[in-house]
Amino acid sequence: FFKLEKMKISVEKNVEITRENGINSLSIVSLILDIEDVFEINLDDSLKEIRSAKTLQEIADIVNRVVTSKKLK
Identity (one letter) of the amino acid at 50? I
Q: Which tens digits make up the pLDDT trace of 24-72?
A: 888 889 889 988 998 899 999 999 999 999 998 899 899 999 988 887 8
**Considering Cα of 61, then 41, then 11, then 59, what sign does the dihedral take?**
negative
Q: Which tens digits make up the pLDDT trace of 38-48?
A: 889 999 999 99
Q: What angle do CA 59, 7, 45 make, to 5 degrees?
A: 40
Look up the pTM and report it.
0.77
Q: How far apart are CA 8 and CA 22, in angstroms?
A: 22
Residue 9 burial (CB count, 10 A): 19
